[in-house]
């Protein structure tokens, strides 16, 4: 990690293992958007947002005059950018600012997260959970959306929470192709009466996953 004279980092002492994501690319936000020298977060959790635009568009907001800031940005190609230390509070979700980390996901409403972006988000959330000793990956307890704190559509239904939580917990999530095979295999089991054990392991896992979503 390269040394940095960013005032927000100096205010918090130093860039430590527990406050800087090891896989993050440094893209520091303005000092005045870090919430102040003594403004340390006191909650355990993260609020996930939709950037509603490109990565560069999000960065222009971060660098601009509007009172808006967040800790991490997750790009479509899977890169993770960190703007502030994990333990300071930023201006991203109103009453949640002094409690939870803010994570922006590149893209717009109606656009699904890319596979690389989803994997990067999961890795980031698992790291934050480890640093903050989360009690678990639970919606409404440690995992939140912007619209749960303010009058906004963000993140516009873009976050596939079932997949995010399953991956965060280490449970396998079959690919879309495997899930389709699982549906076909399930139909075969029902129509022919063959036991599930006659299927291959991957198909059995896919059938169980699809069934759990019904």
pTM of the predicted model as reported, rounded to 2 decimal places: 0.74
CATH architecture designation of domain 7-168: 3-Layer(aba) Sandwich (3.40)
Q: How confident is the model at residue 30, as a pLDDT? A: 94
Q: How confident is the model at residue 85, as a pLDDT? A: 93
Q: How confident is the model at residue 60, as a pLDDT? A: 97
Domain boundaries in the chain? Answer: 7-168, 176-213
Query: CA-to-CA distance for 105 and 84, rounded, in angstroms?
Result: 16
Q: For residues 104 and 58, is the Cβ–Cβ distance under 8 A?
A: yes
Query: CA-to-CA distance for 36 and 7, rounded, in angstroms?
Result: 10
How many Cα atoms within 13 Å fall on the side-chain side of residue 190? 8
Q: Token pair of 20, please?
A: 């800087």
Count, residues in the chain:
214
Beta partners for 104?
49, 73
Q: How confident is the model at residue 172, as a pLDDT? A: 58
Q: How confident is the model at residue 204, as a pLDDT? A: 61
Q: For residues 134 and 44, is the Cβ–Cβ distance under 8 A?
A: yes
Q: How confident is the model at residue 176, as a pLDDT? A: 61
Helical pair 201-213 and 176-192, crossing angle rounded to 10 deg: 90
Report the side by side order of strands in the sheet with 72-74: 25-26, 80-82, 72-74, 101-105, 46-50, 143-145
Q: How confident is the model at residue 12, as a pLDDT? A: 40
Rounded to the nearest 5°, which phi and psi values hold at 101? -70, 145
Residues of the chain with pLDDT under 70: 1-18, 36-39, 171-214
**Cβ contacts of residue 71 below 8 Å, gap of 6+?**
82, 83, 84, 85, 86, 90, 92, 101, 102, 103
Query: CA-to-CA distance for 41 and 97, rounded, in angstroms?
Result: 8
Q: How confident is the model at residue 14, as a pLDDT? A: 36
Q: How confident is the model at residue 16, as a pLDDT? A: 43
| Helical H segments across 12-139, by residue range | 55-63, 115-132
Number of Cβ within 10 Å of residue 126's Cβ equals 15
């Amino acid at each position: 990690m390269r040394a940095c004279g960013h005032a927000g980092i100096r205010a918090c002492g130093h860039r430590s293992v527990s406050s800087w994501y090891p896989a993050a690319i440094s893209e520091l936000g303005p000092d005045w958007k870090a919430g102040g020298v003594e403004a340390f977060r006191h909650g355990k959790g993260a609020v996930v947002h939709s950037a509603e635009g490109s990565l560069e568009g999000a960065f222009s907001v971060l660098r601009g005059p509007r009172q808006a800031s967040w800790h991490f940005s997750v790009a479509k190609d899977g890169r993770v950018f960190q703007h502030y230390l994990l333990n300071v509070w930023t201006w991203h979700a109103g009453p949640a600012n002094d409690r939870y980390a803010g994570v922006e996901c590149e893209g717009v409403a109606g656009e699904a997260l890319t596979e690389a972006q989803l994997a990067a988000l999961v890795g980031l959330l698992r790291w934050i959970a480890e640093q903050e000793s989360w009690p678990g990956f639970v919606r409404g307890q440690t995992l939140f959306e912007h619209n749960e704190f303010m009058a906004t559509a963000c993140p516009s239904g873009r976050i596939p929470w079932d997949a995010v939580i399953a991956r965060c917990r280490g449970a396998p999530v079959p690919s879309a192709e495997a899930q389709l095979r699982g549906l076909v295999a399930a139909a075969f089991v029902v129509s022919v009466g063959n036991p599930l054990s006659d299927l291959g392991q991957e198909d059995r896992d896919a059938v169980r996953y699809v069934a759990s979503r019904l």
